[in-house]
A and B are shown apart, each in its own frame.
Chain A
């Protein structure tokens, strides 16, 4: 079983829709949770960074962490064609020294005008 599971999609939605992207994980030691966005032929860039359970909002984006269920989500409100990209969840532990980041395989999102 992979440590981090993410549906690769593709996910296709109309412009203006609310998008929900999700990841599950198996290792309860993960403490930091991230979402990266990757446009075609580009490197990933950090979108959201959260620590512990709860919600974090940034503009149209909301990151949600539920540690009891080992489940994280990214919501995109009023989705735009410019949101079309691959979204990768990522997480790492917090036990001193350097900690490796573990990535999901990414969900490809297409927002149709």
Chain B
């Protein structure tokens, strides 16, 4: 059974803290993605990676960075969390340049106070 695992389901952080969100997939997929999901705005792409150590900006990369040191792991980093980064963060993966089906994790609900 295919799986994308996000390490933290719920986090509460304070403004200015550094936040790490980790995602692991067990499908040997080349492509991995970080989205945020907000009411009325839907899913918005933050960053994606199509290979180890490669990264590409999505639609809303400001305030975020990513790391992909191993094929199966893709981390999202908030260097200095702000209240407007309170959101649901979803990791996804798929295989090959055409992409195909996106497999999502269960999400990480981040609250920044």
Q: A residues engaging B (CB < 8 A)?
A: 6, 8, 34, 36, 41-46, 49, 88, 90, 92, 94, 96-101, 103-106
A-B pairs, top 7 by smallest CB distance, nearest first, are A43-B104, A105-B42, A103-B43, A46-B101, A43-B106, A44-B104, A43-B105
A103 to B106, CA, bound (A): 17
Chain A interface SS verdict (over half):
loop
Instruction: Please name 12 further chain A to chain B contacts, defined as beta carbons within 8 Å, in addition to the given A43-B92, A43-B107, A99-B98, sorted by A numbering.
Output: A41-B106, A43-B104, A43-B106, A46-B102, A96-B97, A97-B97, A98-B56, A98-B99, A99-B99, A101-B99, A103-B42, A105-B42
CB contacts (< 8 Å) of A99 on chain B: these are: 98-99
B12 on interface, CB distance cutoff 8 Å: no
B25 on interface, CB distance cutoff 8 Å: no
- Least Cβ–Cβ distance between A9 and chain B, in angstroms: 12
Question: A43-B104, A44-B104 known; A8 and B40 CB under 8 Å?
Answer: yes
For chain B, residues 68 to 113, give those with C-beta under 8 angstroms from any C-beta of chain A.
90, 92, 97-99, 101-102, 104-107
CB contacts (< 8 Å) of A36 on chain B: these are: 102
Inter-subunit contact A98/B31 (CB<8 Å): yes
Chain B interface residue count, CB cutoff 8 Å, equals 22
- Least Cβ–Cβ distance between A7 and chain B, in angstroms: 12
A65 to B64, CA, bound (A): 36
A89 to B41, CA, bound (A): 13
Inter-subunit contact A49/B42 (CB<8 Å): no
Inter-subunit contact A100/B58 (CB<8 Å): yes
Inter-subunit contact A104/B42 (CB<8 Å): yes
A19 to B97, CA, bound (A): 34
Select which of A42, A92, A106 is within 8 A of B42 by beta carbon.
A106
- Nearest-CB residue, chain B, relative to A43: B104
Inter-subunit contact A45/B104 (CB<8 Å): yes
CB contacts (< 8 Å) of B56 on chain A: these are: 98
User: Per-position contact with A for B12-23: 1 when CB-CB < 8 Å, else 0?
Assistant: 000000000000
Select which of B31, B48, B107 is within 8 A of A42 by beta carbon.
B107
17 residue pairs bridging A and B, Cβ less than 8 Å apart: A6-B42, A36-B102, A41-B107, A42-B107, A43-B4, A43-B92, A43-B106, A44-B43, A49-B101, A88-B42, A98-B50, A98-B56, A98-B99, A100-B45, A101-B99, A104-B42, A106-B42
